[in-house]
Amino acid sequence: MFPLQRGRRLRVNESIRSLVRETTLSPADFMFPMFIAEGENYQSEIPSMPGIFRRSLDLTVEEVKELFALGIRAVNIYVKVDESLKDNTGKEAWNPDGLMQRAIRAIKTACPEMIVMPDVALDPYSIYGHDGIIENGDIANDATNEALVKMAVSHAQAGADFVAPSDMMDGRVLRLRQGLDAAGFQNVGIMSYSAKYASAFYGPFRDALDSAPREADVVVPKDKKTYQMDYANRIEAVKEALMDVEEGADMVMVKPGIAYLDIVREVKNAVNVPVTVFHVSGEYAMIKAAAERGWLDHDNIMMEQLMCIKRAGASLISTYFAKEAAILLNK
């Protein structure tokens, strides 16, 4: 007790603070989400995400090399699909010559040690902007799972290290594990979006891929709340994560990040696999917007949020700040 114990003795200067620091960050803690588009020597900044671009394959490969040189060891990739290729089956998602498959091959050829985790969900390929196949006005869970297996196997064939199902269909991790194993890809891992909430923080991401639910000439759900989780729930997240681990997930994810750190800790305490946290587009955009107006110190708030996500229990942080944070850490 005071005065024998004085907490400030351990805060006297940065050298002492660094000696007793409980949580540390390194570039290897980050995964960078990347948006890929058709074309050559093409990049287009996403208006709601300053500093983040849709890039053609050639420029994507160059960016991946830069990321690897900074110490980042994983990328989570998404593709912007041409409207003419979208339908209600998602069949373009398992086209062996599709943009995603070509992107995986290009990245692994140029930078073999970079871990590539392609997104597994049908919304970029859906004319309705939903993560699954629409039947009778709702998402057909089991039919969607069959499509996701085809998609995941095609990713594995292209060279993916992990597949990252973000769709939130029931039972899809088990189906993916069975499908990958049957195709001879026992060593391809699954990073499951286990606790993905129906959040308003995803807006800029949907701008990037044009993947928001849209009006249609048939009855479709107006939002994604019949499959993404209710943000009022906590215990449900633990249940979903435990189920995914039982079905074969090698990693589980909580999404979004900063607003859900209580969930991160709950899941971390419950599972025996690494926990990934997605620091999502809306969280990124808010910091960028506030910093542009001089309301926040960009670098300090960026690093504080990333540190807090790691402190809460994240083994890996998927963040649009990965490159900027890695540059700062390397300094």
Q: Which residues are annotated as a binding site for Mg(2+)?
A: 240
Q: Of 299, 283, 326, 280, whose CA–CA distance to 76 is shortest?
A: 280
The helix or strand, by DSSP H or E, that contains position 275, with its residue range, turns out to be: strand 275-279
Q: Could you say which DSSP state residue 93 is in?
A: G
Question: Does the annotation mark 86 as catalytic?
Answer: no
Q: What is the Cα–Cα distance from 233 to 82, expressed in whole angstroms?
A: 36
The DSSP call for residue 168 is -
CA atoms within 13 A on the CB side of 82: 7
Element (H, E) at 267: helix 261-270
Q: Which of 196, 288, 310, 323 is catalytic?
A: 196
- Catalytic site includes residue 196: yes
Q: What is the distance between the alpha carbons of residues 255 and 318, in angstroms, rounded to a whole number?
A: 10
Catalytic residue, from 108, 255, 288, 310: name it.
255
Binding residues: 240
**Contact between 220 and 130 (Cβ < 8 Å):** yes
Phi, psi for 315 (deg, rounded to 5): -85, -30
**For the chain, first and last CA: distance in Å?**
39
Element (H, E) at 317: strand 316-319
Would you name the residues annotated as active-site residues? 196, 255
